Structure 1
Amino acid sequence: ADWLSAGRPESLEDRLSSPAEHVLEVLQKHGAMFANDLADATQMLPAQLPDVLGELVSRGRVSADGFSGLRQLIQGTQMVSRRAIRQRLRRQRTNQSSGRWSLWSVGTKKEELSPTEVTEQWAWQLLRRWGVMFRDLLSREPGAPRWFELLQIYRRLEARGEIRGGRFIAGVSGEQFALGETVRQLRHLRDQESPGEYLVISAADPLNLVGILTNHPRVPATASNRVLYRDGVPLAWRRSQTVELFDDLSHPPPVVLSLLHGKLGLHQPTPPEPPTVQPPQVKTQPHPEKPQIGRLF
Protein backbone atom coordinates (compact mmCIF):
# COMPACT_ATOMS: atom_id res chain seq x y z
CA ALA A 1 0.00 0.00 0.00
CA ASP A 2 1.20 3.49 -0.80
CA TRP A 3 0.44 4.81 2.66
CA LEU A 4 3.03 2.46 4.20
CA SER A 5 5.83 4.44 2.60
CA ALA A 6 4.14 7.84 2.66
CA GLY A 7 4.38 10.57 5.23
CA ARG A 8 7.80 9.61 6.60
CA PRO A 9 10.65 12.05 6.05
CA GLU A 10 13.97 10.42 5.42
CA SER A 11 16.17 10.32 8.51
CA LEU A 12 19.77 9.35 9.11
CA GLU A 13 18.62 5.83 10.04
CA ASP A 14 16.87 5.49 6.67
CA ARG A 15 20.00 6.24 4.66
CA LEU A 16 21.53 3.22 2.99
CA SER A 17 25.13 2.12 2.99
CA SER A 18 27.25 2.57 -0.11
CA PRO A 19 27.07 -1.13 -1.12
CA ALA A 20 23.28 -1.04 -0.76
CA GLU A 21 23.07 2.06 -2.95
CA HIS A 22 25.23 0.29 -5.52
CA VAL A 23 22.89 -2.71 -5.59
CA LEU A 24 19.91 -0.40 -6.10
CA GLU A 25 21.62 1.27 -9.04
CA VAL A 26 22.32 -2.10 -10.67
CA LEU A 27 18.73 -3.25 -10.20
CA GLN A 28 17.40 0.02 -11.59
CA LYS A 29 19.58 -0.40 -14.66
CA HIS A 30 19.19 -4.13 -15.36
CA GLY A 31 15.90 -5.04 -13.67
CA ALA A 32 15.31 -8.25 -11.73
CA MET A 33 18.45 -10.38 -11.29
CA PHE A 34 19.48 -13.64 -9.68
CA ALA A 35 21.77 -13.41 -6.68
CA ASN A 36 24.78 -14.81 -8.55
CA ASP A 37 24.31 -12.36 -11.41
CA LEU A 38 23.87 -9.53 -8.94
CA ALA A 39 27.10 -10.48 -7.16
CA ASP A 40 28.98 -10.51 -10.48
CA ALA A 41 27.54 -7.16 -11.57
CA THR A 42 28.37 -5.46 -8.27
CA GLN A 43 31.68 -7.35 -7.82
CA MET A 44 30.77 -8.16 -4.24
CA LEU A 45 32.02 -11.09 -2.24
CA PRO A 46 29.52 -13.94 -1.77
CA ALA A 47 29.55 -13.33 1.99
CA GLN A 48 28.85 -9.60 1.57
CA LEU A 49 25.84 -9.74 -0.74
CA PRO A 50 23.43 -11.42 1.74
CA ASP A 51 24.13 -8.67 4.29
CA VAL A 52 23.45 -5.98 1.70
CA LEU A 53 20.24 -7.68 0.54
CA GLY A 54 19.15 -8.03 4.15
CA GLU A 55 19.65 -4.31 4.65
CA LEU A 56 17.57 -3.51 1.58
CA VAL A 57 14.81 -5.95 2.57
CA SER A 58 14.59 -4.48 6.07
CA ARG A 59 14.20 -0.99 4.57
CA GLY A 60 11.54 -2.17 2.13
CA ARG A 61 13.60 -1.35 -0.95
CA VAL A 62 13.89 -4.75 -2.65
CA SER A 63 11.90 -7.98 -2.76
CA ALA A 64 12.32 -11.50 -4.07
CA ASP A 65 9.91 -13.41 -6.30
CA GLY A 66 9.85 -16.29 -3.82
CA PHE A 67 10.48 -17.18 -0.19
CA SER A 68 13.68 -19.12 -0.89
CA GLY A 69 15.75 -15.96 -1.15
CA LEU A 70 14.52 -14.75 2.22
CA ARG A 71 15.16 -18.16 3.77
CA GLN A 72 18.74 -18.04 2.57
CA LEU A 73 19.19 -14.64 4.20
CA ILE A 74 17.98 -16.12 7.49
CA GLN A 75 20.11 -19.23 7.10
CA GLY A 76 23.11 -17.00 6.56
CA THR A 77 22.97 -16.07 10.25
CA GLN A 78 23.52 -19.64 11.37
CA MET A 79 26.81 -21.10 12.51
CA VAL A 80 29.83 -20.43 10.34
CA SER A 81 30.82 -24.09 10.31
CA ARG A 82 27.44 -25.11 8.97
CA ARG A 83 27.58 -22.40 6.34
CA ALA A 84 31.06 -23.45 5.28
CA ILE A 85 30.03 -27.07 4.91
CA ARG A 86 27.17 -26.23 2.55
CA GLN A 87 28.78 -23.29 0.81
CA ARG A 88 29.60 -25.09 -2.40
CA LEU A 89 26.17 -26.70 -2.70
CA ARG A 90 24.45 -23.40 -2.06
CA ARG A 91 26.50 -21.67 -4.75
CA GLN A 92 25.44 -24.28 -7.29
CA ARG A 93 21.74 -23.98 -6.59
CA THR A 94 21.46 -20.22 -5.92
CA ASN A 95 20.17 -19.39 -9.40
CA GLN A 96 17.52 -22.08 -9.26
CA SER A 97 16.33 -21.78 -5.64
CA SER A 98 16.71 -18.22 -4.42
CA GLY A 99 14.74 -16.58 -7.20
CA ARG A 100 15.31 -13.13 -8.59
CA TRP A 101 15.72 -9.89 -6.68
CA SER A 102 14.03 -6.71 -7.86
CA LEU A 103 13.17 -3.21 -6.68
CA TRP A 104 10.10 -2.94 -4.53
CA SER A 105 7.47 -1.12 -6.55
CA VAL A 106 5.03 1.04 -4.62
CA GLY A 107 2.97 1.80 -7.70
CA THR A 108 1.92 5.13 -9.09
CA LYS A 109 0.18 7.36 -6.63
CA LYS A 110 -3.06 8.74 -7.99
CA GLU A 111 -3.41 11.26 -5.20
CA GLU A 112 -1.20 12.40 -2.37
CA LEU A 113 -2.31 11.26 1.08
CA SER A 114 -2.32 13.74 3.91
CA PRO A 115 -0.35 12.92 7.09
CA THR A 116 -3.62 12.42 8.96
CA GLU A 117 -4.88 9.93 6.36
CA VAL A 118 -1.60 8.01 6.51
CA THR A 119 -1.79 7.84 10.30
CA GLU A 120 -5.39 6.60 10.16
CA GLN A 121 -4.43 3.83 7.73
CA TRP A 122 -1.65 2.83 10.10
CA ALA A 123 -4.08 2.87 13.04
CA TRP A 124 -6.46 0.44 11.31
CA GLN A 125 -3.59 -1.78 10.16
CA LEU A 126 -2.23 -2.09 13.70
CA LEU A 127 -5.67 -2.90 15.09
CA ARG A 128 -6.21 -5.66 12.54
CA ARG A 129 -2.75 -7.04 13.26
CA TRP A 130 -2.81 -7.04 17.06
CA GLY A 131 -6.51 -6.97 17.94
CA VAL A 132 -5.81 -4.77 20.96
CA MET A 133 -3.49 -1.83 20.44
CA PHE A 134 -1.55 0.08 23.09
CA ARG A 135 1.69 1.99 23.34
CA ASP A 136 4.04 -0.85 24.33
CA LEU A 137 3.35 -2.71 21.08
CA LEU A 138 5.04 0.04 19.08
CA SER A 139 8.37 -1.49 20.07
CA ARG A 140 7.44 -4.21 17.55
CA GLU A 141 6.48 -1.66 14.88
CA PRO A 142 9.54 0.47 14.06
CA GLY A 143 7.93 1.96 10.94
CA ALA A 144 4.69 3.03 12.60
CA PRO A 145 3.78 6.62 13.52
CA ARG A 146 4.36 7.89 17.04
CA TRP A 147 1.89 6.89 19.71
CA PHE A 148 0.75 10.49 20.22
CA GLU A 149 -0.31 10.63 16.56
CA LEU A 150 -2.08 7.27 16.72
CA LEU A 151 -3.78 8.22 19.97
CA GLN A 152 -5.59 11.13 18.34
CA ILE A 153 -6.92 8.82 15.62
CA TYR A 154 -7.99 6.11 18.06
CA ARG A 155 -9.86 8.57 20.27
CA ARG A 156 -11.67 9.91 17.23
CA LEU A 157 -12.61 6.40 16.06
CA GLU A 158 -13.83 5.53 19.56
CA ALA A 159 -16.00 8.66 19.66
CA ARG A 160 -17.57 7.60 16.35
CA GLY A 161 -18.28 4.13 17.76
CA GLU A 162 -16.04 2.34 15.25
CA ILE A 163 -13.69 0.85 17.85
CA ARG A 164 -13.74 0.22 21.60
CA GLY A 165 -11.59 1.76 24.28
CA GLY A 166 -11.05 0.27 27.71
CA ARG A 167 -8.87 -1.96 29.88
CA PHE A 168 -8.70 -5.24 28.00
CA ILE A 169 -5.28 -6.57 29.02
CA ALA A 170 -4.04 -6.58 32.60
CA GLY A 171 -0.58 -5.29 33.42
CA VAL A 172 -0.48 -2.77 30.56
CA SER A 173 -0.30 0.94 31.31
CA GLY A 174 -1.95 3.63 29.26
CA GLU A 175 -4.97 3.62 26.99
CA GLN A 176 -6.01 0.52 25.07
CA PHE A 177 -8.15 0.24 21.96
CA ALA A 178 -9.66 -2.82 20.30
CA LEU A 179 -11.98 -3.92 17.54
CA GLY A 180 -15.48 -4.99 18.53
CA GLU A 181 -14.84 -8.54 17.33
CA THR A 182 -11.70 -8.71 19.46
CA VAL A 183 -13.62 -7.68 22.58
CA ARG A 184 -16.14 -10.49 22.01
CA GLN A 185 -13.34 -13.02 21.59
CA LEU A 186 -11.63 -11.83 24.78
CA ARG A 187 -14.87 -12.22 26.73
CA HIS A 188 -15.27 -15.73 25.36
CA LEU A 189 -11.74 -16.65 26.43
CA ARG A 190 -12.36 -15.17 29.87
CA ASP A 191 -15.52 -17.18 30.45
CA GLN A 192 -14.33 -20.54 29.18
CA GLU A 193 -12.22 -22.94 31.17
CA SER A 194 -8.49 -22.89 30.47
CA PRO A 195 -7.74 -25.81 28.13
CA GLY A 196 -4.14 -26.16 29.30
CA GLU A 197 -2.73 -25.96 25.78
CA TYR A 198 0.96 -25.41 25.14
CA LEU A 199 2.35 -23.20 22.40
CA VAL A 200 5.98 -23.17 21.27
CA ILE A 201 7.12 -20.28 19.07
CA SER A 202 10.41 -19.01 17.78
CA ALA A 203 11.80 -16.05 19.70
CA ALA A 204 11.97 -14.19 16.37
CA ASP A 205 8.19 -14.47 16.04
CA PRO A 206 6.41 -11.10 16.47
CA LEU A 207 4.21 -12.82 19.06
CA ASN A 208 7.22 -13.03 21.35
CA LEU A 209 6.04 -10.29 23.70
CA VAL A 210 7.94 -11.52 26.74
CA GLY A 211 9.33 -8.47 28.50
CA ILE A 212 6.85 -6.23 26.68
CA LEU A 213 3.59 -7.48 28.19
CA THR A 214 5.20 -9.22 31.16
CA ASN A 215 7.70 -8.34 33.86
CA HIS A 216 10.17 -10.96 32.67
CA PRO A 217 13.46 -10.11 30.94
CA ARG A 218 13.22 -10.03 27.17
CA VAL A 219 14.12 -13.11 25.19
CA PRO A 220 16.64 -12.40 22.39
CA ALA A 221 14.76 -12.41 19.07
CA THR A 222 16.84 -15.15 17.47
CA ALA A 223 15.27 -17.76 15.21
CA SER A 224 16.91 -20.64 17.08
CA ASN A 225 15.56 -19.56 20.48
CA ARG A 226 12.25 -20.98 21.65
CA VAL A 227 9.53 -19.65 23.97
CA LEU A 228 6.96 -21.91 25.63
CA TYR A 229 3.48 -20.67 26.62
CA ARG A 230 0.70 -22.40 28.51
CA ASP A 231 -2.71 -20.82 27.94
CA GLY A 232 -0.95 -17.65 26.81
CA VAL A 233 1.30 -17.39 29.87
CA PRO A 234 5.07 -17.69 29.25
CA LEU A 235 6.58 -20.62 31.12
CA ALA A 236 10.13 -21.06 29.86
CA TRP A 237 12.47 -20.36 26.99
CA ARG A 238 15.36 -22.17 25.37
CA ARG A 239 18.66 -20.85 24.08
CA SER A 240 20.83 -23.46 22.38
CA GLN A 241 20.59 -26.39 24.80
CA THR A 242 19.93 -24.25 27.88
CA VAL A 243 16.39 -23.97 29.24
CA GLU A 244 15.46 -21.16 31.64
CA LEU A 245 12.21 -20.93 33.57
CA PHE A 246 10.29 -17.68 33.94
CA ASP A 247 8.46 -18.62 37.14
CA ASP A 248 8.01 -21.56 39.43
CA LEU A 249 6.27 -24.28 37.49
CA SER A 250 3.54 -26.50 38.83
CA HIS A 251 4.13 -29.32 36.37
CA PRO A 252 7.15 -31.56 35.90
CA PRO A 253 10.14 -29.97 34.11
CA PRO A 254 10.46 -32.97 31.73
CA VAL A 255 7.31 -31.73 29.97
CA VAL A 256 8.94 -28.34 29.43
CA LEU A 257 12.16 -29.86 28.16
CA SER A 258 10.32 -32.13 25.76
CA LEU A 259 8.23 -29.30 24.28
CA LEU A 260 11.08 -26.80 23.95
CA HIS A 261 13.20 -29.36 22.11
CA GLY A 262 10.29 -30.47 19.92
CA LYS A 263 8.37 -28.90 17.07
CA LEU A 264 6.98 -25.39 16.89
CA GLY A 265 3.25 -24.90 17.13
CA LEU A 266 0.31 -25.79 19.34
CA HIS A 267 0.48 -28.84 21.58
CA GLN A 268 -2.43 -30.38 23.41
CA PRO A 269 -2.09 -30.81 27.17
CA THR A 270 -0.42 -34.02 28.16
CA PRO A 271 -2.87 -36.14 30.14
CA PRO A 272 -1.50 -37.37 33.41
CA GLU A 273 -0.37 -40.93 33.38
CA PRO A 274 -2.77 -43.21 35.21
CA PRO A 275 -1.33 -44.48 38.44
CA THR A 276 0.02 -47.95 38.27
CA VAL A 277 -2.05 -50.23 40.42
CA GLN A 278 0.05 -52.85 42.04
CA PRO A 279 -1.66 -56.10 42.98
CA PRO A 280 -1.94 -56.51 46.70
CA GLN A 281 0.85 -58.48 48.12
CA VAL A 282 -0.10 -61.10 50.62
CA LYS A 283 2.56 -61.74 53.11
CA THR A 284 2.75 -65.37 53.98
CA GLN A 285 4.03 -66.27 57.35
CA PRO A 286 6.21 -69.31 57.46
CA HIS A 287 4.58 -72.19 59.26
CA PRO A 288 6.25 -72.94 62.54
CA GLU A 289 8.15 -76.08 62.40
CA LYS A 290 6.54 -78.89 64.25
CA PRO A 291 8.64 -80.18 67.03
CA GLN A 292 10.01 -83.52 66.25
CA ILE A 293 9.20 -86.08 68.86
CA GLY A 294 11.95 -88.52 69.33
CA ARG A 295 11.36 -92.13 69.70
CA LEU A 296 10.98 -93.05 73.31
CA PHE A 297 11.62 -96.66 72.80
Structure 2
Amino acid sequence: MSPKASENTASSEALGRTGPEPGTRRGLKIELLIVLGLSLGQSGIYSIVNLIDKMTRAPLGSQTTSLNNSLNQRQYFDLTYQLLDIFFALAPVMLVFYLLWRIPGGNPFVRLGFDLARPFRDLGWGAGLFLAMGLGTLGVYAAGRALGLTTIIVPAALDDYWWTIPVLVFSAIRHGILEEVIVVGYFFERLARLGWGKWQIICASAVLRGSYHLYQGIGPFIGNVAMGVIFGWVYSKKGRVMPLVIAHALLDIAGFVGYALLGPAIGLGT
Protein backbone atom coordinates (compact mmCIF):
# COMPACT_ATOMS: atom_id res chain seq x y z
CA MET A 1 0.00 0.00 0.00
CA SER A 2 1.35 3.44 -0.90
CA PRO A 3 1.91 6.09 1.80
CA LYS A 4 -0.91 8.17 0.26
CA ALA A 5 -3.35 5.23 0.34
CA SER A 6 -2.33 4.45 3.91
CA GLU A 7 -2.95 8.07 4.89
CA ASN A 8 -6.41 8.02 3.27
CA THR A 9 -7.31 4.79 5.05
CA ALA A 10 -6.24 6.21 8.40
CA SER A 11 -8.23 9.36 7.77
CA SER A 12 -11.32 7.32 6.90
CA GLU A 13 -11.00 5.22 10.03
CA ALA A 14 -10.57 8.31 12.18
CA LEU A 15 -13.62 9.90 10.56
CA GLY A 16 -15.63 6.76 11.23
CA ARG A 17 -14.64 6.77 14.90
CA THR A 18 -15.60 10.41 15.43
CA GLY A 19 -18.88 10.33 13.50
CA PRO A 20 -22.17 9.70 15.32
CA GLU A 21 -23.15 6.06 15.78
CA PRO A 22 -26.42 5.05 14.06
CA GLY A 23 -28.17 4.26 17.35
CA THR A 24 -27.18 7.37 19.33
CA ARG A 25 -29.49 10.35 19.84
CA ARG A 26 -27.34 12.53 17.63
CA GLY A 27 -27.15 9.83 14.98
CA LEU A 28 -30.93 9.34 15.02
CA LYS A 29 -31.58 13.08 14.69
CA ILE A 30 -29.23 13.37 11.73
CA GLU A 31 -30.78 10.28 10.15
CA LEU A 32 -34.29 11.69 10.58
CA LEU A 33 -33.35 14.99 8.96
CA ILE A 34 -31.73 13.22 6.01
CA VAL A 35 -34.69 10.87 5.43
CA LEU A 36 -37.22 13.71 5.66
CA GLY A 37 -35.02 15.92 3.49
CA LEU A 38 -35.03 13.25 0.81
CA SER A 39 -38.76 12.56 1.02
CA LEU A 40 -41.84 14.09 2.62
CA GLY A 41 -40.09 16.77 4.64
CA GLN A 42 -38.81 18.17 1.36
CA SER A 43 -42.35 17.94 -0.05
CA GLY A 44 -43.63 19.86 2.97
CA ILE A 45 -41.20 22.75 2.40
CA TYR A 46 -42.05 22.97 -1.29
CA SER A 47 -45.75 22.78 -0.45
CA ILE A 48 -45.53 25.73 1.96
CA VAL A 49 -43.74 27.83 -0.65
CA ASN A 50 -46.29 26.77 -3.27
CA LEU A 51 -49.16 27.81 -1.00
CA ILE A 52 -47.61 31.24 -0.41
CA ASP A 53 -47.14 31.61 -4.16
CA LYS A 54 -50.80 30.75 -4.81
CA MET A 55 -52.14 33.00 -2.04
CA THR A 56 -50.21 35.98 -3.40
CA ARG A 57 -51.51 35.42 -6.93
CA ALA A 58 -55.27 35.09 -6.48
CA PRO A 59 -57.88 33.72 -4.03
CA LEU A 60 -57.30 30.01 -3.39
CA GLY A 61 -60.86 29.15 -4.33
CA SER A 62 -60.33 30.41 -7.88
CA GLN A 63 -57.23 28.27 -8.53
CA THR A 64 -56.81 24.67 -9.68
CA THR A 65 -54.41 21.99 -8.45
CA SER A 66 -53.83 19.03 -10.77
CA LEU A 67 -52.49 15.69 -9.56
CA ASN A 68 -51.07 12.84 -11.64
CA ASN A 69 -50.17 15.05 -14.56
CA SER A 70 -48.92 13.92 -17.94
CA LEU A 71 -45.10 13.92 -18.09
CA ASN A 72 -44.63 13.72 -21.84
CA GLN A 73 -46.74 14.36 -24.94
CA ARG A 74 -45.71 11.03 -26.49
CA GLN A 75 -47.70 8.11 -25.10
CA TYR A 76 -45.00 5.56 -24.39
CA PHE A 77 -42.49 8.08 -23.12
CA ASP A 78 -45.21 9.36 -20.81
CA LEU A 79 -45.78 5.80 -19.57
CA THR A 80 -42.04 5.31 -19.05
CA TYR A 81 -41.71 8.53 -17.07
CA GLN A 82 -44.78 7.67 -14.97
CA LEU A 83 -43.40 4.25 -14.01
CA LEU A 84 -39.94 5.66 -13.28
CA ASP A 85 -41.51 8.37 -11.12
CA ILE A 86 -43.42 5.76 -9.11
CA PHE A 87 -40.37 3.51 -8.71
CA PHE A 88 -37.91 6.19 -7.62
CA ALA A 89 -40.45 7.80 -5.28
CA LEU A 90 -40.23 4.58 -3.26
CA ALA A 91 -36.44 4.81 -2.88
CA PRO A 92 -36.76 6.61 0.52
CA VAL A 93 -38.88 3.68 1.74
CA MET A 94 -36.09 1.29 0.78
CA LEU A 95 -33.66 3.56 2.61
CA VAL A 96 -35.85 3.54 5.73
CA PHE A 97 -35.97 -0.25 5.88
CA TYR A 98 -32.19 -0.41 5.38
CA LEU A 99 -31.62 2.06 8.22
CA LEU A 100 -33.96 0.13 10.51
CA TRP A 101 -32.17 -3.09 9.63
CA ARG A 102 -28.78 -1.58 10.60
CA ILE A 103 -29.85 -1.10 14.22
CA PRO A 104 -30.63 -4.37 16.05
CA GLY A 105 -34.28 -4.86 16.87
CA GLY A 106 -35.55 -7.57 14.57
CA ASN A 107 -36.91 -7.70 11.06
CA PRO A 108 -37.80 -4.09 10.14
CA PHE A 109 -40.82 -5.20 8.09
CA VAL A 110 -42.20 -7.03 11.12
CA ARG A 111 -41.30 -4.14 13.46
CA LEU A 112 -43.42 -1.72 11.43
CA GLY A 113 -46.12 -4.25 10.63
CA PHE A 114 -45.51 -3.96 6.90
CA ASP A 115 -45.95 -7.64 6.10
CA LEU A 116 -48.63 -10.22 5.30
CA ALA A 117 -48.81 -11.77 8.77
CA ARG A 118 -52.45 -10.70 9.33
CA PRO A 119 -53.95 -10.15 5.86
CA PHE A 120 -57.65 -10.38 6.71
CA ARG A 121 -57.42 -8.30 9.88
CA ASP A 122 -55.34 -5.66 8.11
CA LEU A 123 -57.78 -5.60 5.19
CA GLY A 124 -60.73 -5.21 7.57
CA TRP A 125 -59.14 -2.31 9.45
CA GLY A 126 -57.98 -0.77 6.18
CA ALA A 127 -61.45 -0.95 4.65
CA GLY A 128 -63.02 0.55 7.77
CA LEU A 129 -60.55 3.43 7.84
CA PHE A 130 -61.11 3.96 4.11
CA LEU A 131 -64.86 4.35 4.58
CA ALA A 132 -64.50 6.68 7.57
CA MET A 133 -61.75 8.81 6.02
CA GLY A 134 -63.46 8.87 2.62
CA LEU A 135 -66.60 10.48 3.99
CA GLY A 136 -64.53 12.89 6.05
CA THR A 137 -62.37 13.84 3.06
CA LEU A 138 -65.41 14.68 0.95
CA GLY A 139 -66.83 16.78 3.78
CA VAL A 140 -63.61 18.70 4.36
CA TYR A 141 -63.18 19.31 0.62
CA ALA A 142 -66.74 20.59 0.27
CA ALA A 143 -66.35 22.88 3.30
CA GLY A 144 -62.98 24.14 2.05
CA ARG A 145 -64.41 24.95 -1.37
CA ALA A 146 -67.40 26.74 0.18
CA LEU A 147 -65.11 28.85 2.38
CA GLY A 148 -62.62 29.53 -0.40
CA LEU A 149 -59.80 27.77 1.51
CA THR A 150 -59.26 24.95 -0.96
CA THR A 151 -58.25 25.00 -4.61
CA ILE A 152 -60.18 23.07 -7.23
CA ILE A 153 -58.50 19.66 -7.14
CA VAL A 154 -58.21 17.58 -10.29
CA PRO A 155 -57.05 14.15 -9.00
CA ALA A 156 -56.18 12.73 -12.43
CA ALA A 157 -54.90 14.88 -15.28
CA LEU A 158 -53.39 12.11 -17.41
CA ASP A 159 -54.30 11.68 -21.05
CA ASP A 160 -56.72 8.85 -21.83
CA TYR A 161 -54.54 5.86 -22.75
CA TRP A 162 -54.96 2.11 -22.26
CA TRP A 163 -52.50 2.28 -19.35
CA THR A 164 -54.02 5.30 -17.57
CA ILE A 165 -56.06 3.36 -14.98
CA PRO A 166 -53.28 0.88 -14.04
CA VAL A 167 -50.81 3.75 -13.62
CA LEU A 168 -53.27 5.62 -11.40
CA VAL A 169 -53.67 2.47 -9.27
CA PHE A 170 -49.87 2.07 -8.99
CA SER A 171 -49.58 5.76 -8.12
CA ALA A 172 -52.15 5.37 -5.35
CA ILE A 173 -50.35 2.35 -3.90
CA ARG A 174 -47.08 4.29 -4.10
CA HIS A 175 -48.55 7.14 -2.04
CA GLY A 176 -49.94 4.72 0.53
CA ILE A 177 -46.61 2.95 1.03
CA LEU A 178 -44.44 6.09 0.96
CA GLU A 179 -46.52 8.14 3.38
CA GLU A 180 -47.54 5.50 5.90
CA VAL A 181 -44.18 3.75 6.14
CA ILE A 182 -42.24 7.01 6.58
CA VAL A 183 -44.66 9.42 8.29
CA VAL A 184 -46.10 6.80 10.64
CA GLY A 185 -43.98 3.65 10.97
CA TYR A 186 -40.47 5.10 10.67
CA PHE A 187 -41.33 8.44 12.29
CA PHE A 188 -42.95 6.78 15.30
CA GLU A 189 -40.08 4.31 15.75
CA ARG A 190 -37.37 6.94 15.64
CA LEU A 191 -39.11 9.58 17.77
CA ALA A 192 -39.92 6.92 20.39
CA ARG A 193 -36.20 6.07 20.55
CA LEU A 194 -35.53 9.78 21.11
CA GLY A 195 -37.84 9.72 24.13
CA TRP A 196 -40.92 11.46 22.70
CA GLY A 197 -44.32 10.66 24.23
CA LYS A 198 -47.14 8.97 22.30
CA TRP A 199 -49.25 12.07 21.71
CA GLN A 200 -46.23 14.21 20.92
CA ILE A 201 -45.35 11.75 18.16
CA ILE A 202 -48.95 11.50 16.90
CA CYS A 203 -49.30 15.29 16.67
CA ALA A 204 -45.88 15.77 15.02
CA SER A 205 -46.67 13.07 12.47
CA ALA A 206 -50.09 14.58 11.76
CA VAL A 207 -48.68 18.09 11.21
CA LEU A 208 -46.00 16.67 8.90
CA ARG A 209 -48.73 14.86 6.93
CA GLY A 210 -50.73 18.05 6.65
CA SER A 211 -47.71 20.14 5.62
CA TYR A 212 -47.07 18.39 2.32
CA HIS A 213 -50.72 18.82 1.31
CA LEU A 214 -50.69 22.60 1.77
CA TYR A 215 -50.21 23.15 -1.96
CA GLN A 216 -53.87 22.11 -2.30
CA GLY A 217 -55.03 24.77 0.17
CA ILE A 218 -55.79 25.23 3.87
CA GLY A 219 -58.70 22.76 3.83
CA PRO A 220 -56.59 19.74 2.79
CA PHE A 221 -54.01 20.69 5.44
CA ILE A 222 -56.67 20.57 8.17
CA GLY A 223 -58.19 17.38 6.78
CA ASN A 224 -54.86 15.59 6.57
CA VAL A 225 -53.84 16.66 10.08
CA ALA A 226 -57.10 15.12 11.34
CA MET A 227 -56.45 12.00 9.29
CA GLY A 228 -52.90 11.87 10.68
CA VAL A 229 -54.16 11.98 14.26
CA ILE A 230 -56.56 9.09 13.61
CA PHE A 231 -53.98 7.02 11.69
CA GLY A 232 -51.37 7.71 14.36
CA TRP A 233 -53.70 6.65 17.14
CA VAL A 234 -54.60 3.43 15.29
CA TYR A 235 -50.90 2.68 14.75
CA SER A 236 -50.14 3.30 18.43
CA LYS A 237 -52.78 0.67 19.28
CA LYS A 238 -52.13 -1.88 16.53
CA GLY A 239 -48.42 -1.41 15.84
CA ARG A 240 -48.95 -2.14 12.13
CA VAL A 241 -48.73 0.20 9.14
CA MET A 242 -50.32 -2.27 6.72
CA PRO A 243 -53.93 -1.29 7.55
CA LEU A 244 -52.96 2.35 7.04
CA VAL A 245 -51.28 1.57 3.71
CA ILE A 246 -54.40 -0.28 2.57
CA ALA A 247 -56.74 2.54 3.67
CA HIS A 248 -54.56 5.22 2.06
CA ALA A 249 -54.22 3.29 -1.19
CA LEU A 250 -57.99 2.72 -1.36
CA LEU A 251 -58.64 6.43 -0.74
CA ASP A 252 -56.30 7.44 -3.54
CA ILE A 253 -57.56 4.75 -5.92
CA ALA A 254 -61.12 5.95 -5.36
CA GLY A 255 -60.07 9.56 -5.91
CA PHE A 256 -57.76 9.04 -8.88
CA VAL A 257 -59.60 6.31 -10.77
CA GLY A 258 -63.06 7.55 -9.80
CA TYR A 259 -62.26 10.99 -11.15
CA ALA A 260 -60.66 9.61 -14.33
CA LEU A 261 -63.75 7.49 -15.06
CA LEU A 262 -66.58 9.67 -13.79
CA GLY A 263 -65.31 13.09 -12.72
CA PRO A 264 -65.70 15.13 -15.92
CA ALA A 265 -69.02 13.46 -16.71
CA ILE A 266 -70.64 14.41 -13.39
CA GLY A 267 -68.96 17.80 -13.01
CA LEU A 268 -66.40 17.04 -10.29
CA GLY A 269 -63.45 19.36 -9.89
CA THR A 270 -65.52 22.55 -10.02
Q: What is the TM-score normalised by the length of structure 1?
A: 0.23
Between Structure 1 and Structure 2, whose CA radius of gyration is higher? 1
- Structure ranking higher in helix proportion: 2
Structure of greater relative contact order (alpha carbons < 8 Å, 6+ residues apart): 2
- Structure ranking higher in strand proportion: 1
Q: What is the TM-score normalised by the length of structure 2?
A: 0.24
